[in-house]
Structure 1
């Protein structure tokens, strides 16, 4: 089933930058079934177009306050379980699709970030937070368990002990602390968030997309692999990257004392 395009906006320009926008600002961009499907449609569109970079933002005062509890509260029992399974299936497939691509994802977060919103922010490769943003796990506060990869990302970003603190106590984490513990990449002034996120995404769009994809996967694999096999993976990846068009262009630019031009290389699959 296709989603309502008004829930999640997707704009892909001719140069390969995708802008994915959560469009339920009046509801804090709470994730209902249609928004989850919209995110999956957006991720698939990015994969099909072979984009170079993704910029993920949320309209309104808050980036994403998590699941749509008003929608969930109207259901009960087996009906609720089936509904939440459909929501998480779509949302998790979206996260997988973004993760499996080469294009780096930049997230710009503001206001309240809770529940699955933390998952979206944590899943991005570069996460910029407005200085007035705040983060709350929220799940156990309402008797829920984590989704959106939160129980996978948090321990890797902030450590298992701190992750459990956040997940069990649901304490509010201000942007400055989020940066200090590694939950976000950096904090910027609220009036600079949009511009800085766009600048970051544009810089990544101009980069070597395939090398970015290999690097993303190496970092993810390195969190669970043994050193020996991982060193072998790095060696193979480096050799392939060096022999690629991007690798040859990068070295030629370095030796020629000029900026590399990766943009002329094909990025569409």
Structure 2
């Protein structure tokens, strides 16, 4: 946990601070609060900052990028949605996609069919949802049990121990041996190409920035073995576990203080 770290020592030699999004910077599908946006904006003036999320770019934009303060240095932000299969930078006054690696059509269709079949068999294909259950993100297929637009409170109540998501992910994974299926957000599972996870995103980020993995601080809330932050936490980054945006604000306060005197 973040309280166990000497963040002043940890930040020495760091080249990039990377964040998970949901339940790290903001609650699911919700914009960052002003206090979090202020800290994130301040960090961009001190160091390169990366946003690594399983979600699509449109959510990264509405939850983080659209609420930054005017003096944030957008040129130092690396946006890596869908676990790094897409990469956006601020160029000529707007966010531009510099690469995109999508699944082929057959794999996407197989993933969608498998998810629906197993969700029905396990009794978690609900009759009434808030928006679509399955989203084709091109490079990733995402299943949200309560729908993409479900209220945060309902999402957090649905599977507090992650057992439903983990059971579904395991069953779908058997059908898709050439793909990777993992537990995602509060009610979701994600299907992507094998070898594509947040560790993949961190490695690509290091190639872009020109640094080593151990020069990346990675902050996230799901670093348990079934969590989608786990791959980034075990590859040699400096991982910081938080339990929500409140923790992240306190971590940012300490990082800002350390970077301001380094």
TM-score, normalised by the number of residues in structure 1? 0.30
TM-score, normalised by the number of residues in structure 2? 0.31
